[in-house]
Amino acid sequence: MEREYWRWPESRFTAEDIDWRKGEIISAGVDVGSVSSQAVVLVDGKLFCYSNTRTGADSPQSAQKAMDMALEGTGMSLDDIHYIVGTGYGRVNVPFAKRAITEIACHARGANFMYGPSVRTILDMGGQDCKAIHCDDKGKVTNFLMNDKCAAGTGRGMEVFADLLSIPIEEMGRLSFQIDEEPEPVSSTCVIFAKSEAVGLLRKGWPKEKVLAAYCSAMAHRVVELLERIGVEKEFAVTGGIAKNEGVVKRIERELQIKALEPTYDTQIAGALGAALFAKALVEKERGLR
């Protein structure tokens, strides 16, 4: 079988130092996105385990798969979780979730947890959309903006390029810096235009790395336009799949002349993490704790 360059490696994590059976509140969040899905489980607000997997053509199944994978080997079962919040494109199709909250609210909340209360501007680059979010010190959304139609398909666009160039998607960022000098960006409007431009450049004999650099900087440029429309307040953080692509992130930083906060977790789990934090708050509400 042909290698699938576009596929992000799936991953999971368990905090070995937490005994979940002693936990008071076990909450979880499941983020079913257009390209990937994540599940995060918190024990008393501490990150216990998570998974990051591919979204399939059936959202309930994708949710199930993410949850199963997160719980794998932990001894925890679905019934042990007190509250689950669904988020992402498929949020209403998470069969075991009690409530759905949008990925915009969840990413802000998750980023607040991941990066600390100083985060004010979050850029979430997902498979289909790109969102610029402003939040307060609690991770509450104060304003947000989504890409216009012509700039849709950010994450999917990266996949298209991974395939086109036969470069594993996780390698793209690094390789995009293996160039002598920064080339002119390709069309920053549209994934389709960008692809046809890239094919032209490759046929002209451009090395893959250079084409990749041209695409990453086009993407960065497009995202910066979105960010500038809402305004970038410090601190600034990036979440979602493309946050893992340093080729884009570093170029965004360069254009904005602002350094993004360093992630300590897998940036793709921000949405599910936020959902799990909301789930915790909802349990507390139910129990009259707040």
Partner 1 sequence: MLEKYKTEPLKCWSKAKEIRSNYYKNYALAHEKGGLRWAGGAWSFDAIPAGLGDDVYPLTGEPYAASIAWNKEFALRCHEAVEKAGYARDLCSYMRNYWGSIILNEYLFGGKFPKPDFIWQDHICCSHAKWYQVARDLEGGDVPYFAIDVSVGPYEELTPSRLEYVVGQMHDGIEWLEKVTGRKYDDEKLIQAVLNHCRSTSLWAEICTYNRAIPAPLDEKTMYSLYVLGTLQKSSKQVADFYEELRDEVKDRVERGIAAVSNERCRVMSDTQPPWAFLRVFRYLEKYGCVSVGSLYTFGLIGMWEVKEDGTWGPRKTPQELGIEIKDRDQALRLLASWELKKPEWQHFYSPQLKSEMMIRIAKEWKLNGVMLHYNRGCEGLSLGIAENRLALLEAGFPVMIFEGNMGDEREFDEAQTISRIDAFMESLGFEKLEE
Partner 2 sequence: MMERFRQWYENRHDYAREWKKKTGGKVLGYFCTYAPEEIMYAAGVLPVRILGSHEPQDVTEPHIFGMYCPFCRDCLAQGLKGRYSYLDGIMISQSCLHIRQAFTSWELHIPVDFSYYLPMPNNVQSKRAVPYLAHELRAFKNALERWMGKEIRDEELEQGIEIMNKSRRLTRELYELRKSESPPLSGLEAMYAVVSSQMVDKREYNNELEAILRKLPQRVEDNSAKIRLMILGSENDDTEFLKMVESLGAIFVIDDHCTGSRYFWNETIPNQDLFESIATRYVERIPCPSKDWPVRKRVSHIKELARDWKAQGAIVIQQKFCDPHELDIPSIIKSLKESGIPSQFLEFDVTVPVGQFKTRVEAFLEMLRGEDLF
Partner 3 sequence: MYVAGIDCGAKYVKVIIIRNGEIIGRGSVLSGFDVKGSLNEALKKAMEQPKISAEDLSYVVATGTGKGEVDFAQATMTEVTANAKALNFLFPSVRTVIDVGAEEGRAIRINELGKVIDFAINEKCAAGAGTFTETMARALEIPLEEMGPLSLKSQKSVPMNAQCAVFAESEVVSLIHAKHAKEDIARAVHDAIADRIASMARKIGIERDVALVGGVARNVGFVDSLKRDLQVELLIPEQPEFSCAFGAALLAAERAKGG
Nearer to partner 1, 100 or 146 (CB): 146
DSSP state at residue 240: S
Query: CA torsion sign, 257 to 258 to 260 to 262?
Result: positive
- Is 22 an interacting residue with respect to partner 3 (CB under 8 A)? no
Encoded amino acid at 192, one letter: I
Binding of residue 191 to partner 3 (CB under 8 A): yes
Least separation in angstroms between residue 65's CB and partner 3 is 12
The C-alpha atoms of residue 139 and residue 116 are separated, in whole angstroms, by: 9
Work out whether 189 is an interface residue with partner 1 (CB under 8 A): yes
Selected binder of partner 2 within 118, 142, 178, 189 (CB under 8 A): 142
**What is the DSSP annotation of 108-142?**
HHHHHHHH-TT--EEEEE-SS-EEEEEE-TTS-EE
Nearest-approach distance from CB 127 to partner 2, in angstroms: 12
Near partner 3 by CB under 8 A: residue from 22, 57, 180, 262: 57
- Applying CB under 8 A, which of residues 159, 209, 235, 266 lies at the interface with partner 3? 159
Residue whose C-alpha is closest to residue 39's, from 76, 19, 68, 9: 68
- Alpha-carbon span 216 to 199, nearest angstrom: 15
The footprint of partner 3 (CB under 8 A) covers 6, 32, 34, 56-59, 89-90, 92-93, 127-129, 149-150, 152-153, 156, 159-160, 190-193, 195-196, 199, 202-203
The footprint of partner 1 (CB under 8 A) covers 148, 150, 187, 189, 200, 225, 228-229
